[in-house]
Amino acid sequence: MTDQMRPTIDIIGREEINDLEAIMSVVNTDSDERLHSVHSVYDTVFTWDYEKGKRPKLDKLYEKAKKAQWNGQTDLPWEIDVDQEKVVAANAVANGGFHEGIDVSGTSIARWGDKEWLQFGVESQNWTLSQFMHGEQGALVCTAKIVESVPWIDAKYYAATQVVDEARHVEVFSKYLDDKLSGHYPINAHLRMLLDEIIADKRWDMTYLGMQIMVEGLALAAFGFMHQMTTEPLLKQLLRYVMSDESRHVAFGVLSLQEYYAELSAAEIRERQEFAFEAAIRMRDRFLQQEVWDRMGANPKEIVPLLLQVPERQTFQTLLFSKIVPNCKKLGLLDAADGWLRTKFTEMGAIAFEDWADTGEEYETMQATGTEAVA
């Protein structure tokens, strides 16, 4: 382990975090594959200490998780008819239109009319729900790995309930895509790259950090945005259920890693900082939706830079990290190594969230008041 932080190019493969050409050069070259294998070598850990409740906060999460199970087939109103084009149009009206604030004159989409923008909205919804589904399968696999590799019985118990949660999330997103929407998209290359790295790392806490803190933290924020913006009642209820689960999942990561990271060396913490930064960049990069522009016959390299200049888009991109930054601070990652990760989050424009409530704190508050994370 090194005593110095690695340069940005060694962590994310480019020197500038906002290099759009480099970001958009990362694409799927095997989007038709049906199976994807990731090689991983890690220790499967048995514990012969079965005393339940040694870690009371994890035990509370486990007890809550057992009571909070729901059935994706029977607890959601699948009988609701979803006219996707009508829903997309209603969402656009409710949220300011498809291309509000974007000057597309002189571009390949300058002649787009209502028909094309409506189709773009349909494709965008298909893409977004597809990426949610792929991310949930990543969480399913990662949490199964945590059950195998974490050394504490209370954590194994809780993680087993999360495996069930994640299977249910994959199931309901897949069913919604198949039954209510109009097409799937392959996994985004940036998301797949991140999931591959999380799975391949042999250290159990890196699985926690990558999935429970980073991926699930961003997903919790993204689900909240979609829940607020959609006008479709079935999707709204589906997201409420999923968000309730996700708040427990992120709290599980915060509570587990806070104890473990207090015992790590400075060099080990630096490695976790670098991993958190890389995960943040990979997740931010995946939201450019270049696959949608490609499918619509537009040039992503021409359109995406225009989108990123829109203040509302910049705000959305930044708010996705509203759960991640305070959680990293709670874990001691923000200010270790002379505040290296703080500097990186500042460069990303996300540091303003550092004093927001971390998810462990939020969940304890919800437990005390008897409420769920389903705003």
Element at 139 (helix H, strand E): helix 114-149
Tokens at 347, concatenated: 């460069």
pLDDT at 362: 67
> pLDDT tens, 76-119?
999 999 999 999 999 998 887 766 667 888 898 999 999 999 99
| Structure tokens belonging to residue 344 | 């990186």
pLDDT of residue 374: 41
Domain locations in the chain as residue ranges: 185-369
Structure tokens at 280: 């943040």
Low-confidence stretches of the chain (pLDDT beneath 50):
1, 370-371, 373-375
User: Under a CB-based contact definition with an 8 Å cutoff, are residues 184 and 253 in contact?
Assistant: no
**Secondary structure (DSSP) of 340-363:** HHHHHHHHTT-GGGTTSPPHHHHH
3-state secondary structure of 277: helix
Full-prediction pTM beyond 0.95?
Answer: no
Cβ count near 341 (within 10 Å): 26
Task: Check residue 89 and give its pLDDT.
Answer: 95
Query: Which of 110, 119, 111 minimizes the C-alpha distance to 88?
Result: 119
Residue pLDDT, tens place only, 161-202: 999 999 999 999 999 999 999 999 999 999 999 999 999 999
